[in-house]
Every structure is written in structure tokens, then in C-alpha cells.
Amino acid sequence: MSAEIVNLRQFRKKQARSEKDKEAEQNRISFGRTKAEKQLTKALNDKAEKSHSQGRIEKDKDE
């Protein structure tokens, strides 16, 4: 029964690099959009919110 010898310093560095890569990938997805894409998303969200609020039924306070 022999185990593989691992250098802990190298292991920690490799793990830290891996975590940074994962975070960078998430940031590229979240923030890596062009100005046109951001404007399109904002316009679609505004349109959806407007159509949603138009469909609301307001109740009288007397009831």
C-alpha cells in the first residue's frame, strides 16, 4: 500500500488557480456583454414589466 506523494504547496497553488479560473468564467458570462446586448436586455425587461403592470386589476379601497 503505497500512496502518491503530493507537494502541498503545489497542490494549493493548483487549487487556487482552478478557483480563479472558475470565477473568471462566471465573470465572463455575467459581465462580458457588449453595450448593444445590455441595451437589448434592458429594453426586453422594460417591455415585459410594462405589459405585466398593464394587466393588473386595481381594487377599490372601499371594499
Give the mean pLDDT per block of 10 residues along the chain (63 residues). Answer: 88 97 92 90 95 82 64
Which secondary structure element, helix H or strand E, spans residue 1, and what is its range? none
Answer yes or no: is 61 within a domain.
Answer: no
Cell numbers that stand for 38 in this block: 445590455
- The answer to whether the Cα torsion of 21, 22, 23, 26 is positive or negative is positive
Q: What is the pLDDT at residue 63?
A: 54
Answer yes or no: is 60 within a domain.
Answer: no
Alpha-carbon 7 to chain mean position: 35
Answer yes or no: is 44 within a domain.
Answer: yes
Answer yes or no: is 19 within a domain.
Answer: yes
Answer yes or no: is 18 within a domain.
Answer: yes
Q: What is the pLDDT at residue 55?
A: 80
Collapsed DSSP state (helix, strand, coil) of residue 61: coil
- Tell me the pTM: 0.46
For 33, residues 6+ apart whose C-beta sits below 8 A from its C-beta are 41
Range of the domain at 38: 10-51
Instruction: Give the number of domains in the chain.
Output: 1
Answer yes or no: is 4 within a domain.
Answer: no
Q: What is the pLDDT at residue 44?
A: 96
Q: What is the pLDDT at residue 40?
A: 95
